[in-house]
Amino acid sequence: MAINAFYNEILTDHNLHPMHKYNLKDPNLILEGLNPSCGDDIVLQLKMDENGVIVDGSYNGDGCAVSMASADMMLDLVIGKHKDEAKRLADIFVRMIKKEASEEEIEELEEAGSLRDISHMPSRVKCAVLGWHTMEELVDKEPIQNPGEHSGEAVSTE
């Protein structure tokens, strides 16, 4: 029961008071993420330096509580990290959802580890991984030269 209360408290907090839901000023990486099965639609915006470090990030869009909170928690975790570390954390997150991550790995996810039981709700799995999959695709792209442009590309959970 305490785990469910912790999960609900974190989920509610990240939905009522998201730290990263806004338009980032001058992002150099932008990608839309779609989850057609739930209707989640986010636009992830990152600012990555020349060394591959994610120096800032935000998201905007509409979706269920799980997708929005998961994207917010993901940004809490990856801002300030090298893109390779961010991708490693995304891999741990996805493996956690599949029940393949160790307890030590799940601890590295900090608050995002509270979503570990989402695997018991199959209809919410794609919601939880949307931001993470979008970030994995985005950090491998070439940073845009004109921060005002958006390629219109999108990644889907389907």
**Structural domain that includes position 101:** 2-156
pLDDT of 120: 85
pLDDT of 43: 97
Low-confidence ranges of the chain (pLDDT < 70): 1-7, 145-158
Q: Which helix (H) or strand (E) holds 13?
A: helix 2-16
Confidence (pTM): 0.88
- How many domains does the chain divide into? 1
pLDDT of 137: 95
pLDDT of 1: 38
pLDDT of 49: 95
Q: Which helix (H) or strand (E) holds 17?
A: none
pLDDT of 5: 56
CATH number at residue 40: 3.90.1010.10
pLDDT of 16: 87
User: Are the CB atoms for 147 and 27 separated by under 8 Å?
Assistant: yes
